A = this chain, B = another copy of it.
Amino acid sequence: MDIVSGGKLAAAVSEAGGLGLLGGGYGDGDWIEREWERAGNARIGCGFITWSLANRPHVLERALARQPAAVMLSFGDPRPFAAAIRNAGARLICQVQTVSQAREAAEAGADVIVAQGTEAGGHGMSEPLFALLPQVIDACPGALVVAAGGIADGRGLAAVLMLGAQGALMGTRFYASQEAVGHPEAKRRIAEAEGGQTVRSIVFDLSRRMRWPAPYTGRLLRNRHAETWLGRESELEARMEEVGREYAAARERGDFDVAGVIAGEGCALIHDIPPAAEIVERISAEAERLIRSHASTFS
């Protein structure tokens, strides 16, 4: 969730009984320390984009100095960082998009493996959660596996528990929360989006003059800018400087017909912008109610 998940949101999730993670993203040490202050005494963790962290490993040291409950690494090889994270007393969470990445994470000593389906907002790959999750569980016997991508209510949590996950990681659902550091218009668009209104592509990264390593792509709400450039990625890359300037200006003025709103397919299930604690409580209660209710149908 990058900087959308600041200290206030992470603290609210942890205080409600979840594990809140700061969106360490590409790795800005000053931002991380400032947001850690905002989290107060809450026991939180921090996530990083692994390939970016590899270019600024000192940022990990600054995060570990805050005694995080856990560090989550996504999109890259976790092995260079695993020992430092464990030695600092933090749990290592590795987010993966394929079965082979899951095996590598288990070998790296991950305490938690997050199996992220293509439904997820932001960066990811192409495998749907329903196919990926049980395969990851079968490939990593004994591992603690958590599901991500498309989960936004108690139905989704109960479903991934049945598939064998021990829990769920949610981004988009918490973007549409009171505490998230997001533009009110971006939150409003998530709460109002219907099904099929997101798209996974490289248009967003090219538009902000950012090149991600293949095969990662980013899922965002479809908007006018996405419709303009989808299928014309080569042309966009050739005109990246010009389009990038216009795009940056649109972000500045909060014009979300051009600027992208990062969101997963779960946005279709999100219709409000409540406090984060209410989200945690509502989803937990709904999942429990569903499981109890189905169990009661057996004689």
Contact = CB atoms under 8 A, between A and B. Distances in A.
Q: Is the interface of A mostly helix, strand, loop or mixed?
A: helix
A191 to B, nearest CB: 14
A159 interface: yes
Contacts of A151: 130
Interface of A: 98-99, 117-119, 127-132, 134-135, 138-139, 149-151, 153, 155-156, 158-164, 194-196, 265-266, 268-269, 287-288, 290-292, 294-296, 298
Copies in the complex: 2
Contacts of A288: 298
Q: Which of A127, A130, A138 has the most CB of B within 10 A?
A: A130
A21 to B, nearest CB: 22
16 contacts: A98-B196, A99-B195, A99-B196, A117-B128, A130-B150, A130-B265, A132-B195, A134-B268, A134-B269, A138-B269, A155-B163, A159-B160, A159-B163, A161-B162, A291-B294, A291-B295
A269 to B, nearest CB: 6
Given A291-B295, A298-B291, A195 B131 contact: yes
A196 B150 contact: no
A-B pairs with the 7 shortest C-beta distances?
A295-B295, A131-B265, A128-B128, A158-B162, A159-B159, A159-B162, A135-B195
